[in-house]
A and B are shown apart, each in its own frame.
Chain A
Amino acid sequence: MKEMIWLIPLLPMLSSLALMLGSGSFSRLIIGVLGVGSVGAAALLTLLTGLDFLAQPEPYTVSLWTWMQVANFSPGISFYFDGLTLVMMSVITGVGFLIHLFSTEFMEQDASYARYFAYLNLFVAAMLILVMADNLLLLYLGWEGVGVCSYLLVGFWYQNSANGQAARKAFVVTRIGDTAMALGLFLLFTSLGTLDIQTMLGVANSKWQVGDLMPLIACLLLLGGAVGKSAQLPLHTWLPDAMAGPTPVSALIHAATMVTAGVYLIARTHGLFELAPTAMMVVAVVGLATSLMAAFTALMQSDIKRILAYSTISQIGYMFLALGVGAWTAGIFHLMTHAFFKALLFLGSGAIIHCLHHEHNIFKMGGLRRKMPVTFWSFMIGSAALAALPMTAGFFSKDQILLQAYQLPEYGVWLWLGGLVGALLTAIYSFRLVFVVFYGKANTQPDKDVGWRMAVPLSLLCLLSLIGGYFIIPVQAVFPLSTDGHPAHWVEYVSISVPVIGVIVAYLIFYSKRLDVSRLVQSTVGSRLGDFWRIGWGVDYLYDRLFVRPYYGLSALMKSEPVDRFYGWVVSINQCFNYWLSQSQNGRMRRYLVSIIFGLIVLLMLALQLTPEVF
């Protein structure tokens, strides 16, 4: 099985190709079987590989061919498998399979059924290549590949140009991050002589000291790429708009997998980051700041998918926080549990949207508890996990992060406090969603409930969100052991109780309406603050004024090609001379005669001057 590991990304890729070529002639059933089956087969193979690995936990490399070889630069198409790879692959193929199954019902009425699965399979293949790559160049291939697939899928309903705009925004913003990452790759290769990850980490350790400048720059550049792909400050503005794509796409790409690529990158190159503690602090601060900003924004949204989008940004902030304080295992663990419950929440919202004829505004919903029980329980469990209520999967992972943050010397307390505020807000906004949508008066009636193809993935994800916290991910060999010390017990109690307080607050405001915040919300300070939070703290507005409009203006200004003016002058001078000289060709005989005689005189003069001895 080890040698065939390349089959795992190959199967979805082949399926994608087949669907693209044969889209006209396949029936819905065949398309569904190909699309879902290829990912299912990949999941199965991952399971077998994983069992193999757990039995004999030795990381290994499988090399296919040398991609290119120029001087000493010779990256290969080779895959590296260890515990971290296994975790990522399991999440991608497992959750991916469930989402594919969900999609068969969600996209049933869509005319471009085949195109959808072609793109989705291609995405899975690219994401697998990303996590399985043994060198940074192949990782970059997967990285860009998922970016393109995200663009294709966000703009899937291309007939609406707003979707196209959202897709382009997503691609261009992540491209900025990718460019930073490319520069990081150049720096790493130039300094260390290889892009092969394991080799590179070894060389880095021997060549660089902790706190050197080079690893700091390289890590910051890699971080640039990571914040782009994972939608963190300052490159997060694309994710809320990317909700224009079909909801299963949002579940897969913008919750469970692609946005976690940045987290994976930093975790994979942790050896480099450990050489640059400043960079790690930057990672943590970026994570925390993003987390808080997004949490406040989520509180003010009314579109169900945008709430979840900002929630994703916020949770990935937690992962970055974990990585930044050196809690590698906790970060990856949260990645996995987040994949479970966030996919659950997104699929749940997809079920709602599907059954409520595409209604997105939560204030137009309500009272769905009775009509859509499966969805209700999905949301309940998912939100509980998101809020990190005790005994859910999210509880275990978020708790670990907060505790490890607390234990960081010097700044740990502040990070922990920030994390707590975030946890409080998370609980509030997630249960705000639950109470507004599922309780109270029903404003819109669902016209159907979910079929089995939606119910089964939802249920399985519910299960995972509950028991996922008990999984032990096999990454002990990958990451250095983190401090095992236990902080004081009161720290733990506070960390556990804050989300519960948040749920109670949400209950009081949105369900029993006991706590009246309307005066607070409608006061001048309150409403200004609320608006500010709702528009995402004005970052989008800032970018629009600072980058987008100037670029449009610059290109419109230069459209008429200013350089050409210079060549236009050459043409004008030419035409000028033409005009003057053509005056002499006027057909007037006497003028010609005069010029002949004049010329004769001049020549005689010249002759006299130059050869006086003759005369």
Chain B
Amino acid sequence: MDAIPLNHILLVSSLLFCIGALGLMIRRNIIFILMSLEVMLNAAALAFVAAGAHWGQPDGQVVFLLILSVAAAEVAVGLGLVLQVQRRFKSLDMDRANRMGG
């Protein structure tokens, strides 16, 4: 069976990244922003795995594991922040979390 060309995977990865970034910019709910962030992270991880498969090195998968752990840690902290935001501002709307007047 032919291996999937690297470019295709990179294309998918960048598409995923853009979807994630778009979601990041557009969504107002903090939970959805976090999810978009996860999507972006996974897109980057996919790119790494593909590159590792292309070059035949295990480094790509190592980095994937790294990204996974970073994502997990970040989600933990992020959800803690979300809880605090919910408590202070009584809403999960990003635009509400704004004490500055501007």
Chain A interface (Cβ < 8 Å from any Cβ of B): 582-590, 593-594, 597
Residue of B21, B97, B101, B102 near A589 (CB, 8 A) is: B97
- B94 A586 Cβ-Cβ under 8 A: no
Query: Digit string of B11-28 for contact with A (CB within 8 Å is 1, else 0)?
Result: 000000000010011001
CA distance A56 to B65 in the complex (A): 125
A594 contacts across to B, CB distance below 8 A: 25
- Chain B positions within 8 Å of A585 at CB level: 100, 102
Taking CB atoms, residues of chain A closer than 8 Å to B25 are 590, 593-594, 597
A597 close to B102 (CB less than 8 A): no
Measured between beta carbons, the chain A residues less than 8 angstroms from B99 are: 587
A307 to B: closest C-beta gap in Å: 79
Identify 28 residue pairs between A and B in the complex whose beta-carbon atoms are under 8 Å apart, listed by A's number. Answer: A582-B102, A584-B102, A585-B100, A585-B102, A586-B98, A586-B100, A586-B101, A587-B98, A587-B99, A587-B100, A587-B101, A587-B102, A588-B95, A588-B98, A588-B102, A589-B94, A589-B95, A589-B97, A589-B98, A590-B25, A590-B28, A590-B95, A593-B24, A593-B25, A594-B25, A597-B21, A597-B24, A597-B25
Residues of A within 8 A of B28 (CB): 590
Q: Give Cα distance in the complex from A589 to B85, angstroms.
A: 13
- Residues of chain B whose beta carbon lies under 8 Å from any beta carbon of chain A: 21, 24-25, 28, 94-95, 97-102
A583 to B102 Cα, complex, angstroms: 6
For B95, the chain A residues whose CB sits under 8 A away are 588-590
B30's closest neighbor in chain A, by CB? A589
Docked complex Cα distance between A594 and B22 (Å): 9
Across the two chains, which residue of chain A brings its CB closest to B99?
A587
With both chains docked as a complex, state the minimum distance between the C-beta of A485 and any C-beta of chain B, in angstroms: 101
CB distance from B53 to the nearest CB of A (A): 22
Task: With both chains docked as a complex, state the minimum distance between the C-beta of B26 and any C-beta of chain A, in angstroms.
Answer: 8
Residues of B contacting A583 in the complex (Cβ-Cβ under 8 angstroms):
102
Give the chain B neighbours of A584 by CB distance below 8 A.
Answer: 102
A220 to chain B, nearest CB (A): 72
A588, B25: Cα distance in complex, Å: 12
Residues of A within 8 A of B100 (CB): 585-587
Give the distance to chain B from A453, nearest Cβ to Cβ, in Å: 85
- The closest CB in chain B to the CB of A590 belongs to B94
**Among A586, A590, A597, residue most surrounded by chain B Cβ atoms (within 10 Å):** A590
Specify which chain B residues have a CB less than 8 angstroms from the CB of A597 in the assembled complex. 21, 24-25
Task: Report A600 CB to chain B, min CB distance, Å.
Answer: 9
> B42: shortest Cβ distance to chain A, in Å?
18
Considering the chains assembled together, what is the distance between the CA atoms of A589 and B97 in angstroms? 8
B98 neighbours in A (Cβ, 8 Å): 586-589
**What's the Cα separation between A263 and B77 when bound, in Å?**
101
Give the docked Cα–Cα distance between A583 and B101 (Å).
Answer: 10
Task: Tell me the nearest residue of chain B to A586, going by C-beta.
Answer: B102
A12 CA to B28 CA, complexed, in Å: 96
Distance A380 CA – B25 CA, assembled complex (angstroms) = 111
| Distance, CA A251 to CA B50, complexed state (A) | 116
